[in-house]
Amino acid sequence: MTLSQQIAPYLPYLRRYARALAGSQNVGDAIVVQTLEAIIEEPASFPKQRGARAGLYRVFSTLWSTIAERSFPAEEDLENSGTTSSVMQNVARLTPRSRQAFLLNLVERFAPSDIAFILDVDIEAVSGFLSSAEKEIAECIATDVLIIEDEAVIAAELSMIVRELGHSIIGVARTQTEAQKLTRLRRPGLVLADIHLADGSSGIDAVNDILQQGATPIIFITAYPERLLTGQRPEPTFLISKPYDVEAVKATICQSLFFDQKASSHLAANS
Protein backbone atom coordinates (compact mmCIF):
# COMPACT_ATOMS: atom_id res chain seq x y z
CA MET A 1 0.00 0.00 0.00
CA THR A 2 1.38 3.41 -0.98
CA LEU A 3 1.76 6.25 1.51
CA SER A 4 -1.04 8.19 -0.17
CA GLN A 5 -3.36 5.20 0.23
CA GLN A 6 -2.42 4.90 3.90
CA ILE A 7 -3.21 8.52 4.78
CA ALA A 8 -6.24 9.04 2.49
CA PRO A 9 -8.87 7.70 4.97
CA TYR A 10 -7.71 10.18 7.60
CA LEU A 11 -7.82 13.36 5.49
CA PRO A 12 -11.46 14.31 6.24
CA TYR A 13 -10.71 14.11 9.95
CA LEU A 14 -7.49 16.12 9.63
CA ARG A 15 -9.54 18.78 7.84
CA ARG A 16 -12.02 18.76 10.73
CA TYR A 17 -9.20 19.21 13.23
CA ALA A 18 -7.50 21.94 11.19
CA ARG A 19 -10.73 23.93 10.89
CA ALA A 20 -11.44 23.65 14.60
CA LEU A 21 -7.97 24.96 15.39
CA ALA A 22 -8.13 27.83 12.91
CA GLY A 23 -11.79 28.74 13.41
CA SER A 24 -12.02 28.92 9.63
CA GLN A 25 -12.80 26.46 6.85
CA ASN A 26 -10.52 28.22 4.35
CA VAL A 27 -7.56 28.61 6.68
CA GLY A 28 -7.79 25.04 7.98
CA ASP A 29 -8.05 23.56 4.51
CA ALA A 30 -5.14 25.68 3.27
CA ILE A 31 -2.85 24.26 5.95
CA VAL A 32 -3.99 20.72 5.16
CA VAL A 33 -3.04 21.34 1.52
CA GLN A 34 0.38 22.55 2.66
CA THR A 35 0.69 19.39 4.76
CA LEU A 36 0.03 17.19 1.75
CA GLU A 37 2.47 19.19 -0.37
CA ALA A 38 5.16 18.70 2.28
CA ILE A 39 4.54 14.94 2.33
CA ILE A 40 4.62 14.71 -1.48
CA GLU A 41 7.86 16.71 -1.58
CA GLU A 42 9.65 14.49 0.95
CA PRO A 43 7.80 11.16 1.30
CA ALA A 44 10.88 9.43 2.70
CA SER A 45 10.83 11.70 5.78
CA PHE A 46 7.22 10.88 6.69
CA PRO A 47 7.12 9.94 10.42
CA LYS A 48 5.82 6.37 10.50
CA GLN A 49 6.76 5.42 14.06
CA ARG A 50 3.17 5.45 15.36
CA GLY A 51 1.29 4.73 12.17
CA ALA A 52 -0.01 6.71 9.18
CA ARG A 53 -2.70 8.62 11.08
CA ALA A 54 -0.45 9.95 13.84
CA GLY A 55 2.26 10.66 11.28
CA LEU A 56 -0.13 12.73 9.17
CA TYR A 57 -1.17 14.82 12.17
CA ARG A 58 2.46 15.26 13.18
CA VAL A 59 3.40 16.71 9.79
CA PHE A 60 0.40 19.04 10.07
CA SER A 61 1.42 20.06 13.61
CA THR A 62 4.94 20.89 12.47
CA LEU A 63 3.55 23.21 9.80
CA TRP A 64 1.05 24.69 12.25
CA SER A 65 3.82 25.66 14.66
CA THR A 66 5.47 27.82 11.99
CA ILE A 67 2.30 29.26 10.44
CA ALA A 68 2.96 32.84 11.58
CA GLU A 69 6.07 32.89 9.41
CA ARG A 70 4.39 31.54 6.27
CA SER A 71 2.74 33.22 3.28
CA PHE A 72 -0.98 33.94 3.25
CA PRO A 73 -3.60 34.86 0.61
CA ALA A 74 -4.21 38.43 -0.47
CA GLU A 75 -6.39 40.63 1.74
CA GLU A 76 -9.28 40.65 -0.74
CA ASP A 77 -9.32 36.84 -0.76
CA LEU A 78 -9.44 36.79 3.02
CA GLU A 79 -12.36 39.23 3.04
CA ASN A 80 -14.26 37.00 0.61
CA SER A 81 -13.71 34.03 2.90
CA GLY A 82 -14.84 35.94 5.98
CA THR A 83 -11.38 35.64 7.57
CA THR A 84 -9.23 38.60 8.58
CA SER A 85 -5.49 38.59 7.87
CA SER A 86 -4.78 39.36 11.53
CA VAL A 87 -6.55 36.16 12.56
CA MET A 88 -4.63 34.12 9.98
CA GLN A 89 -1.24 35.52 10.85
CA ASN A 90 -1.72 34.99 14.57
CA VAL A 91 -3.77 31.81 14.53
CA ALA A 92 -0.98 29.71 16.07
CA ARG A 93 -0.88 32.10 19.01
CA LEU A 94 -4.67 32.16 19.30
CA THR A 95 -4.80 28.36 19.58
CA PRO A 96 -2.15 27.37 22.14
CA ARG A 97 -0.89 23.83 22.53
CA SER A 98 -3.23 23.22 25.43
CA ARG A 99 -6.17 23.55 23.06
CA GLN A 100 -4.46 21.51 20.36
CA ALA A 101 -3.89 18.68 22.84
CA PHE A 102 -7.47 18.89 24.06
CA LEU A 103 -8.94 18.65 20.56
CA LEU A 104 -6.56 15.84 19.63
CA ASN A 105 -7.62 13.91 22.70
CA LEU A 106 -11.36 14.55 22.89
CA VAL A 107 -12.41 15.23 19.30
CA GLU A 108 -9.84 13.22 17.33
CA ARG A 109 -9.63 10.50 20.03
CA PHE A 110 -5.83 10.22 20.17
CA ALA A 111 -4.24 8.68 23.26
CA PRO A 112 -1.89 10.93 25.29
CA SER A 113 1.14 8.97 24.01
CA ASP A 114 0.09 9.70 20.41
CA ILE A 115 -0.51 13.36 21.24
CA ALA A 116 3.02 13.58 22.64
CA PHE A 117 4.30 12.19 19.34
CA ILE A 118 2.16 14.53 17.22
CA LEU A 119 3.14 17.67 19.17
CA ASP A 120 6.76 16.48 19.64
CA VAL A 121 6.65 16.82 23.44
CA ASP A 122 6.89 14.43 26.37
CA ILE A 123 3.89 12.77 27.99
CA GLU A 124 4.14 15.00 31.07
CA ALA A 125 3.72 18.08 28.89
CA VAL A 126 0.57 16.59 27.36
CA SER A 127 -0.92 16.13 30.85
CA GLY A 128 -0.20 19.77 31.59
CA PHE A 129 -1.76 20.90 28.31
CA LEU A 130 -4.96 18.95 29.01
CA SER A 131 -5.24 20.42 32.52
CA SER A 132 -4.78 23.95 31.17
CA ALA A 133 -7.45 23.40 28.52
CA GLU A 134 -9.95 22.31 31.15
CA LYS A 135 -9.43 25.66 32.90
CA GLU A 136 -10.00 27.49 29.60
CA ILE A 137 -13.32 25.69 29.18
CA ALA A 138 -14.41 26.89 32.61
CA GLU A 139 -13.89 30.47 31.36
CA CYS A 140 -16.04 30.00 28.25
CA ILE A 141 -18.21 33.07 27.51
CA ALA A 142 -21.95 32.53 28.05
CA THR A 143 -24.38 32.88 25.14
CA ASP A 144 -27.84 31.78 23.91
CA VAL A 145 -27.82 28.36 22.25
CA LEU A 146 -30.24 26.77 19.78
CA ILE A 147 -30.21 22.97 19.51
CA ILE A 148 -31.43 21.40 16.25
CA GLU A 149 -31.83 17.70 17.03
CA ASP A 150 -34.73 15.30 16.54
CA GLU A 151 -33.65 12.61 19.03
CA ALA A 152 -35.09 13.54 22.43
CA VAL A 153 -32.42 11.81 24.51
CA ILE A 154 -29.56 13.45 22.63
CA ALA A 155 -31.28 16.85 22.72
CA ALA A 156 -31.72 16.55 26.49
CA GLU A 157 -28.08 15.60 27.00
CA LEU A 158 -26.84 18.45 24.80
CA SER A 159 -29.07 20.85 26.74
CA MET A 160 -27.51 19.65 29.98
CA ILE A 161 -23.98 20.09 28.61
CA VAL A 162 -24.77 23.60 27.40
CA ARG A 163 -26.26 24.62 30.74
CA GLU A 164 -23.30 23.18 32.65
CA LEU A 165 -21.08 25.57 30.67
CA GLY A 166 -23.25 28.48 31.79
CA HIS A 167 -25.16 29.04 28.54
CA SER A 168 -28.90 29.54 28.04
CA ILE A 169 -31.09 27.37 25.80
CA ILE A 170 -33.33 29.19 23.32
CA GLY A 171 -35.07 25.93 22.51
CA VAL A 172 -34.81 22.56 20.79
CA ALA A 173 -35.94 22.27 17.16
CA ARG A 174 -36.79 18.88 15.69
CA THR A 175 -37.32 20.21 12.15
CA GLN A 176 -36.17 23.03 9.88
CA THR A 177 -39.53 24.77 10.36
CA GLU A 178 -39.24 24.68 14.15
CA ALA A 179 -35.73 26.11 13.91
CA GLN A 180 -37.03 28.98 11.78
CA LYS A 181 -39.74 29.76 14.33
CA LEU A 182 -37.35 29.74 17.28
CA THR A 183 -34.78 31.99 15.60
CA ARG A 184 -37.48 34.51 14.69
CA LEU A 185 -38.28 34.81 18.39
CA ARG A 186 -34.67 35.03 19.56
CA ARG A 187 -31.39 35.06 17.65
CA PRO A 188 -28.92 32.42 18.88
CA GLY A 189 -25.28 33.08 19.70
CA LEU A 190 -24.44 29.45 18.93
CA VAL A 191 -26.17 26.57 17.13
CA LEU A 192 -25.68 22.83 17.69
CA ALA A 193 -27.20 20.96 14.75
CA ASP A 194 -27.73 17.42 13.53
CA ILE A 195 -28.00 16.73 9.79
CA HIS A 196 -31.07 14.48 9.45
CA LEU A 197 -34.19 15.88 11.17
CA ALA A 198 -37.55 14.43 12.19
CA ASP A 199 -39.63 15.25 9.13
CA GLY A 200 -36.89 14.46 6.63
CA SER A 201 -35.74 18.08 6.49
CA SER A 202 -32.06 18.98 6.63
CA GLY A 203 -30.11 20.48 9.48
CA ILE A 204 -27.84 22.02 6.84
CA ASP A 205 -30.80 23.90 5.35
CA ALA A 206 -31.91 24.98 8.82
CA VAL A 207 -28.44 26.34 9.53
CA ASN A 208 -28.31 28.15 6.19
CA ASP A 209 -31.58 29.90 7.12
CA ILE A 210 -29.94 31.14 10.31
CA LEU A 211 -26.74 32.25 8.57
CA GLN A 212 -28.77 34.40 6.16
CA GLN A 213 -29.58 36.56 9.18
CA GLY A 214 -25.89 37.03 10.04
CA ALA A 215 -22.76 35.19 11.13
CA THR A 216 -23.33 32.67 13.92
CA PRO A 217 -21.02 29.93 15.24
CA ILE A 218 -22.34 26.53 14.12
CA ILE A 219 -21.34 23.08 15.38
CA PHE A 220 -22.64 20.07 13.46
CA ILE A 221 -23.02 16.87 15.47
CA THR A 222 -23.51 13.89 13.17
CA ALA A 223 -22.86 10.19 12.80
CA TYR A 224 -21.55 10.82 9.28
CA PRO A 225 -18.87 13.56 9.46
CA GLU A 226 -17.14 12.38 6.29
CA ARG A 227 -20.31 13.22 4.31
CA LEU A 228 -19.84 16.88 5.18
CA LEU A 229 -16.14 16.98 4.24
CA THR A 230 -16.26 16.16 0.55
CA GLY A 231 -14.93 19.43 -0.86
CA GLN A 232 -18.01 19.70 -3.09
CA ARG A 233 -20.03 22.34 -1.22
CA PRO A 234 -19.80 24.80 1.70
CA GLU A 235 -18.70 22.75 4.69
CA PRO A 236 -18.75 23.25 8.47
CA THR A 237 -15.85 24.63 10.45
CA PHE A 238 -16.82 22.76 13.61
CA LEU A 239 -17.87 19.13 13.37
CA ILE A 240 -18.33 16.43 16.04
CA SER A 241 -18.88 12.72 15.39
CA LYS A 242 -21.63 10.67 16.98
CA PRO A 243 -21.38 8.93 19.36
CA TYR A 244 -19.75 11.98 20.91
CA ASP A 245 -17.73 12.50 24.06
CA VAL A 246 -19.25 15.06 26.45
CA GLU A 247 -15.89 16.76 26.98
CA ALA A 248 -15.38 16.93 23.21
CA VAL A 249 -18.64 18.84 22.89
CA LYS A 250 -17.56 21.23 25.63
CA ALA A 251 -14.17 21.78 24.02
CA THR A 252 -15.66 22.47 20.59
CA ILE A 253 -18.27 24.86 21.99
CA CYS A 254 -15.59 26.91 23.67
CA GLN A 255 -13.33 26.82 20.61
CA SER A 256 -16.14 28.09 18.37
CA LEU A 257 -17.09 30.88 20.79
CA PHE A 258 -13.43 31.79 21.21
CA PHE A 259 -13.11 32.63 17.53
CA ASP A 260 -16.50 34.32 17.45
CA GLN A 261 -15.36 36.59 20.28
CA LYS A 262 -12.13 37.37 18.43
CA ALA A 263 -14.08 38.23 15.27
CA SER A 264 -16.43 40.50 17.26
CA SER A 265 -13.51 42.23 18.90
CA HIS A 266 -11.88 42.82 15.52
CA LEU A 267 -15.07 44.34 14.12
CA ALA A 268 -15.50 46.59 17.14
CA ALA A 269 -11.91 47.81 16.88
CA ASN A 270 -12.41 48.72 13.21
CA SER A 271 -15.89 50.23 13.44
Whether residue 246 sits in one domain with residue 196: yes
Residue 96 pLDDT level (bands cut at 50, 70, 90): confident
Mean pLDDT of 194-216: 89
Asked which of 136, 163, 183 is the last residue of a domain, the reply is 136
Q: Which residue would you say has higher pLDDT here, 220 or 93?
A: 220
CATH number of the domain residue 34 falls in: 1.20.140.160
Report the domain count for the chain: 2
Range of the domain at 20: 3-136
pLDDT score at 260: 65
Whether residue 214 sits in one domain with residue 129: no
Q: Is residue 220 within 8 Å of residue 194, measured between CB atoms? A: yes
Whether residue 125 sits in one domain with residue 73: yes
Whether residue 118 sits in one domain with residue 161: no
**What pLDDT, in 10s, does the model give residues 228-271?**
776 655 567 788 988 898 988 988 898 888 776 544 433 333 33
Whether residue 149 sits in one domain with residue 30: no
Handedness of CA 25, 29, 31, 32 (dihedral sign): positive
> Smallest Cα–Cα separation from 221: which of 205, 235, 240, 243?
240
Whether residue 235 sits in one domain with residue 177: yes
Q: What is the pTM of this model?
A: 0.73
Whether residue 218 sits in one domain with residue 102: no
Whether residue 183 sits in one domain with residue 128: no
> Smallest Cα–Cα separation from 266: which of 21, 19, 24?
24
**Is residue 28 scored above 60 in pLDDT?**
yes
Q: Which of 15-24, 148-157, 207-216 has the highest mean pLDDT?
A: 148-157
Whether residue 145 sits in one domain with residue 70: no
CATH number of the domain residue 253 falls in: 3.40.50.2300
